[in-house]
């Protein structure tokens, strides 16, 4: 898979910085991600299309997927933009201003978005697993690679990249001798459990009982609550329609409010 990166930050992030991040993330994909998930991709910086997107001027689309670096916290008319200029090609957004508000590196967000695009290009893969609050109830977890561990980052060549879950994460039991995420960091003395959530992260799933896609974050996790509230502002980002109507409620529960 070739993932085209289009820098539309209007100078907020220089192309040179993007190239540096791309080299680090490509190393992450090849050396860290692919050996576990047996799938790979290469990020490549493309040129900047001028003017409004046109159906017959698809300068963005030189690969199998595209990720846009955006300088605000949303992309006006983004869904129409994708319909006109992506022609069904998998896409993602990295909002530089949103990363700044979250006090995290945009390169970690780019890593997050790239890994999840590789893991679920069409945003349609699910895994059967327990309800986060009611283990006896079965739900369909979206196959997200980074959401549950997204507050954990590490560095490659001085560039921040995102932690990600491993295949054992999506299993019903806790296999002895296995890790559920790449870093395996302990938080409050505990590492990530299967279908679990680390501090600052959350999981999303389709509840067959209600027919609604829901979002779960640990109660009292203010970092996760803040992240969910800010992501609501990025309403046209990839996966946003899945969480529509549920993000606010989930962030309030995570913050400990009714």
* Digit-coded pLDDT (tens) for 105-149: 999 999 999 999 999 998 889 999 999 999 899 999 999 999 999
Question: Per the structure, how many domains does the chain have?
Answer: 1
CA torsion, points 30, 31, 35, 40, in degrees to nearest 10? -10
Residue numbers of the domain that contains 155: 2-254
Beta strands in the chain (DSSP E): 2-8, 42-45, 65-70, 91-95, 126-130, 138-142, 153-156, 159-162, 203-207, 212-216
Confidence class of residue 151 from pLDDT cuts 50, 70 and 90?
Answer: very high
Three-state DSSP at 120 gives: coil
Cα-based distances in Å from 214 to 81, 172, 208, 241: 27, 20, 10, 11
| pLDDT at residue 256 is higher than 80 | no
Predicted pLDDT of residue 183 = 97
Predicted pLDDT of residue 48 = 67
> Helices 15-28 and 106-119: crossing angle, nearest 10°?
50
d(CA 95, CA 77): 15
Q: Picking from 48-57, 165-174, 184-193, which range would have the lowest pLDDT averaged per residue? A: 48-57
Residue 180's contacts (CB-CB under 8 Å, 6 or more residues apart) are: 165, 166, 168, 169, 191, 192, 193, 194, 196
pTM for this one?
Answer: 0.86
| pLDDT at residue 62 is higher than 90 | no
């Amino acid at each position: 898979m070739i993932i085209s990166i289009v820098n539309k930050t209007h100078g907020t992030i220089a192309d040179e910085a993007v190239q540096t991040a791309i080299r680090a993330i490509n190393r992450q994909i090849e050396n860290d991600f692919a050996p576990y998930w047996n799938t790979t991709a290469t990020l490549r910086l493309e040129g900047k299309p001028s003017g409004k997107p046109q159906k017959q001027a698809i300068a963005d689309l030189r690969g199998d997927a595209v990720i846009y670096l955006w300088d605000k916290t949303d992309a006006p008319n983004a869904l129409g933009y994708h319909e006109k200029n992506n022609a069904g090609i998998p896409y993602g957004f990295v909002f530089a201003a949103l990363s700044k508000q979250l006090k995290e590196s945009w390169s970690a967000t780019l890593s997050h978005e790239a890994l999840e695009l590789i893991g679920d290009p069409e945003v349609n893969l699910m895994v059967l697993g327990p309800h986060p609050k009611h283990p006896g109830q079965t739900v369909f977890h979206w196959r997200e690679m980074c959401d549950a561990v997204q507050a954990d980052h590490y560095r490659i060549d001085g560039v921040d990249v995102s932690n990600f879950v491993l295949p054992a994460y999506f299993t019903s039991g806790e296999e002895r001798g296995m890790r559920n995420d790449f870093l395996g960091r302990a938080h409050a003395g505990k590492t990530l459990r299967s279908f679990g959530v680390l501090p600052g992260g959350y999981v999303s799933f389709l509840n067959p009982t209600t027919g609604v896609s829901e979002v779960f974050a640990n109660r009292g996790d203010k970092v996760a609550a803040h992240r969910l509230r800010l992501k609501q502002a990025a309403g046209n980002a990839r996966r946003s329609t899945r969480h529509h109507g549920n993000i606010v409620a989930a962030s309030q529960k995570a913050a400990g409010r009714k």
